[in-house]
Structure 1
């Protein structure tokens, strides 16, 4: 019985370790450097975001500046036009980051992306920025999604 439980636990761990981070493009991180972007759940890419559900967005980055605050700004890009997305918490200091932000430190930004039921079903690019005190991007990432 113990070997069966061990085998199941091992398979689960193998599944978690084989999950790939989301492919992203840096779109102007002037005050930091992004290392990983994860969206949960996102079993395949582009991530299929189901209307009415919420998704966890995690961005690991290092800062090249000091900043006492941080502000998240999110857009959906359709035909080159940025359309604002609302997120529940825009303050990065309340999203897994302990402020003040210090240069040469690594941070793990964590946020929730709710997908409203009134959004149309389509493919688009999400642009997610976290801005410092001077409104420069600690990170700016773009990743494709499909709203279903």
Structure 2
């Protein structure tokens, strides 16, 4: 009986650690098509991002183009104004994507989103773009977040 109870608890805890699909808006993916967006951890929406923590962002997409490279550009939109949101690795080819990118293939982009302790406690929208070699968006997504202590 104890073994069965232990397994149930283990599976419940594993479920809490998996990435959660989030609702997003496609904001102009011209060179690709987004399939799913997951943020871990994000148990509810808007995602609450705690200062000093880091979050994983995973975007699965299909490419509509061939490209030798990809570059991520991230902004926090506050009051309609896009403010740069630096990420540790902007090179998409070092973020789970094997380059060159081939038209018709599916890719899983994986990145880290660190939330600095000096960020203000606010609600905003994150705009995340992954651009191809011609500066067109392989994907462009927007999702709401709330930065908290």
* TM value normalised by structure 2: 0.92
Gapped regions of structure 1 (runs ≥ 5): none
Is the alpha carbon distance of 1:7 and 1:51 closer, same or farther for their aligned partners in structure 2, counting shifts above 3 Å?
closer
Is the alpha carbon distance of 1:51 and 1:105 closer, same or farther for their aligned partners in structure 2, counting shifts above 3 Å?
same
Q: Give runs of aligned pairs for residues 1-148 of structure 1, distance below 5 A.
A: 1-12=2-13, 20-148=20-148
8 Å Cα contact 2:67/2:101 also seen in 1 = yes
Gapped regions of structure 2 (runs ≥ 5): none
Number of aligned residues: 147
1:75-94 C-alpha deviation (Å, 9 max, x unpaired):
00011111001000000000
- Pairwise CA RMSD of aligned residues? 1.6
* TM value normalised by structure 1: 0.93
Residue 9 of structure 1 and its aligned partner are, at CA, apart by 4.0
Q: Which runs of 4+ in 1 moved over 4 A?
A: 12-17
8 Å Cα contact 2:17/2:40 also seen in 1 = no
Residue 56 of structure 1 and its aligned partner are, at CA, apart by 0.4
SS of the aligned residue for 2:6 comes to helix
